Structure 1
């Protein structure tokens, strides 16, 4: 076996590895490649506890941040923002706070409560308890004060629930501090009564009609149908106004009450019976709640004898009314001046147009069912195309869009109804977006009420539960 060879670094000649000098040039073989010195590794310094903590935090935060980013992205594209079920399936009403950050809602779960919750997260902030909880008496309408500091609700009988026997009953407006949930004021709108045994409530002197805003509540008198009582929320003081002509042969029944946007002018739909002439007719009385004076009385039955008033809607100018009318199969809508008592315009919308009427925020347009009209010219601009029946329709605050519900029945019963929420371009009717599924209107399949957020970016659907959807 040959010995291993090594090369001289000077002349390149091969040499036996056991030799000390090159056999050709005599150059030392083992001085050319001295063994490199061993580098002593520096001793690692001591790592501080703070550095360890920050390192662990950075490693831990990485997946959390990634998850948070994913969740934020998903929320930004998910059209459904939240479902609020704080009242279970007993929701009565809901309202946005003026700044759109909170919602106040009412329901009859747990004896009836008003709940205030975060509109972005659905977290319950306050639960407002009612005074003197009684079976069958619970919060109905809910309203915010204009400064967002208080929440108001009419607490009374909804004419459907069975009242508890031998119960102390008093209907009232209750006011709570929105920040603490504490009740700050109660305004009884009737004298307390005791329910007899086996009494459904229909024959009791309870409030039959009411209308609440942030300044006043108007109620029909429990025993004298010719009287209407108006209560000042701030002071608790009330005034009583007499409806009708005052003729001894005429009796008046309040059918409905509608507040104008200014919250001090109201339209009262009355059914008048003239016993001397055996005649019934409907009128609309216009009153000022601040002064207690009657402004006008409208009688929109010239073209429709024995007309039935279906609905009344105030225009944004606080001086004009849209009145839905019906006589048998013939239906129409008239525009009246509340100040002069004159008829300004007449519309003949589609047959079976429903009672839905909604003014655009600038008062230039009016939707009657699925038809949209120019109020000044009376011309129909477009008709929204639906697969089923119109449930609810509301204009966005900027007047550029409408949100509506298309309810399609597939058979008998609520469970066979499917509902779709549409957001449309108001004037063209072109769909912008649509939402379906996710129990859009609770388990009942009912249409629900639609309420735009003050900024016009969200739509709240109030049914058995409360859902908030994106409106853009």
Structure 2
């Protein structure tokens, strides 16, 4: 077996290493044992294996026969296992860290805070870059455009303002009052950008508000293009799907599906008995990283980047249509195929308290849910079948985030800790103490290098291998 270098940046096998001969009936677990033995360390790490971009899930010989694959080598990949943390200097510690998001290329971080600023950080040097002022109240939402060229932020205020920032300079788009996208009557709860395979450079985004409306904005002119209003209570989250649909969840217990082109209501998804808090699309990772597929495309090669984003999205939907999962205060999750039907595919029960977040794994195979019942649950991403419960937190779990290879899951809790879970073994992989108070938010960079967390202790922590 020739082990080639891996696309996952956390592990590379040098081409100068000796070739290894393995039997045709070798299994992934046996290969994992072999590689851990070659590493000659006590730490056992989870691996996945690929042949011509097809994951090895059975015996090697059977896999080659099934996929009619040539024997060109096996690539071994694993997720990052954080072992430390860094933070900005004391002058950069701010009020409670409410939101943060890694850029689609995994190079930078945008964070929003209770001190009314948006901050940009360099994830490679682990240093702050810009502190952006303009908001008059707490920053509740930050969202990167899929081409990483712009960041939109929303605040907690009666006038529901949205600001646009250039992460390369830290400057707001426009001048003075023109920087401010005015339209919502109450504070912003969620922002989502139009996917890169639909439009590149990215120019449109939508915002959801407590005023029960969704607005579509033109970034370059800072104009509101469409206002969508069918919800009767606050919109809690919006998602811009890859097939021309916008999804909105609200406290009126419904999920609405809108046509992005004209704001027409396509269908309303009903089933939850209480507020719908959170949504995730099976294509989230493909939509997030589509313009950065690590193929060495030049930044200015827009057509190639758009084509690559389309290819990534098509691959994510090759087996089945784009799926949506929702979580609610009624302790349940629902799995939908909203582009084709209004009835849920599955109703998922088991949590004992309200659900804070749901999220699909990057490969779409799994769904993770975080709840006030102090647990994280794992579900099948296609059928909605319950798989496992991860227990270990002693306080409500606020957020979870997946590694790029879908093998590891990190959770942040009110108990001030993060915990890393191994999806294959269904067990705790690593405990990550370090925060002094509640961990409000957590994100895993798309390139797999970093986990970022922030919380009530006014600190932003970066965890790296």
Aligned to 1:448: 440
Q: CA deviation at 1:189?
A: 4.1
Higher-Rg structure is 1
Q: CA deviation at 1:451?
A: 0.4
Within 1, Cα distance between the matches of 2:237 and 2:210? 13
Instruction: Kindly report which structure 2 residues correspond to 1:275-290, keeping only aligned pairs within 5 A, or say none.
Output: 282-290=253-261
2:278 to 311, 319, 332: 311
Aligned to 1:457: 449
The reply on whether 1:239 has 2:242 as its aligned counterpart is: no
2:326 to 323, 327, 338: 323
Within 2, Cα distance between the matches of 1:406 and 1:181? 31
Q: CA deviation at 1:181?
A: 2.3
Partner SS for 1:121:
coil
Q: CA deviation at 1:82?
A: 0.8
1:211 to 162, 182, 190: 190
Structure 1, residues 183-229: CA drift from partner, whole Å, max 9, x if none?
223454436xxxxxxxxxxxxx832444223431324485xx5x543
Q: Judging changes above 3 Å, is the alpha-carbon distance between structure 1 residues 382 and 92 closer, same or farther for their aligned structure 2 residues? A: closer
Q: Judging changes above 3 Å, is the alpha-carbon distance between structure 1 residues 424 and 243 closer, same or farther for their aligned structure 2 residues? A: same
Q: CA deviation at 1:138?
A: 4.9
Aligned to 2:333: 333
Within 1, Cα distance between the matches of 2:460 and 2:111? 9
Q: Judging changes above 3 Å, is the alpha-carbon distance between structure 1 residues 80 and 236 closer, same or farther for their aligned structure 2 residues? A: same
Within 1, Cα distance between the matches of 2:81 and 2:356? 35
Q: Judging changes above 3 Å, is the alpha-carbon distance between structure 1 residues 181 and 368 closer, same or farther for their aligned structure 2 residues? A: closer
Residues 104, 116 of structure 1: 8 Å contact kept:
yes
The reply on whether 1:268 has 2:274 as its aligned counterpart is: no
Aligned to 1:157: 156
Runs in 1 of length 4+ with deviation above 6 angstroms?
Answer: none
Within 2, Cα distance between the matches of 1:127 and 1:374? 41
Q: CA deviation at 1:468?
A: 0.6
Within 1, Cα distance between the matches of 2:368 and 2:445? 20
Q: How many residues align?
A: 326
Instruction: Kindly report which structure 2 residues correspond to 1:1-150, keeping only aligned pairs within 5 A, or say none.
Output: 79-84=83-88, 86-109=92-115, 112-130=116-134, 134=136, 137-150=137-150
The reply on whether 1:346 has 2:354 as its aligned counterpart is: no
Q: Judging changes above 3 Å, is the alpha-carbon distance between structure 1 residues 290 and 421 closer, same or farther for their aligned structure 2 residues? A: same
Structure 1, residues 352-375: CA drift from partner, whole Å, max 9, x if none?
363332211122221234221223
The alignment's TM-score, normalised by the length of structure 2, stands at 0.61
Partner SS for 1:384:
strand
Within 2, Cα distance between the matches of 1:176 and 1:421? 30
Q: CA deviation at 1:253?
A: 2.5
Q: CA deviation at 1:435?
A: 1.9
Q: CA deviation at 1:396?
A: 1.1
Unaligned runs of 5+ in 1: 1-75, 160-169, 192-204, 245-250, 273-281, 408-417
Q: CA deviation at 1:461?
A: 0.5
Q: Judging changes above 3 Å, is the alpha-carbon distance between structure 1 residues 401 and 230 closer, same or farther for their aligned structure 2 residues? A: same
Residues 97, 440 of structure 2: 8 Å contact kept:
no
Aligned to 2:405: 398
Q: CA deviation at 1:108?
A: 4.6
The reply on whether 1:432 has 2:438 as its aligned counterpart is: no
Structure 1, residues 35-94: CA drift from partner, whole Å, max 9, x if none?
xxxxxxxxxxxxxxxxxxxxxxxxxxxxxxxxxxxxxxxxx9992231135242343322
Aligned to 2:167: 178
Within 1, Cα distance between the matches of 2:432 and 2:342? 43
Instruction: Kindly report which structure 2 residues correspond to 1:189-200, keeping only aligned pairs within 5 A, or say none.
Output: 189-190=181-182
Within 1, Cα distance between the matches of 2:382 and 2:168? 45
Within 1, Cα distance between the matches of 2:188 and 2:385? 35
Within 2, Cα distance between the matches of 1:175 and 1:460? 22
Partner SS for 1:258:
strand
Structure 1, residues 269-301: CA drift from partner, whole Å, max 9, x if none?
3466xxxxxxxxx32211133332222111215
Within 1, Cα distance between the matches of 2:332 and 2:81? 42
Unaligned runs of 5+ in 2: 1-79, 194-203, 284-316, 371-375
Within 2, Cα distance between the matches of 1:264 and 1:235? 22
Q: CA deviation at 1:344?
A: 0.8
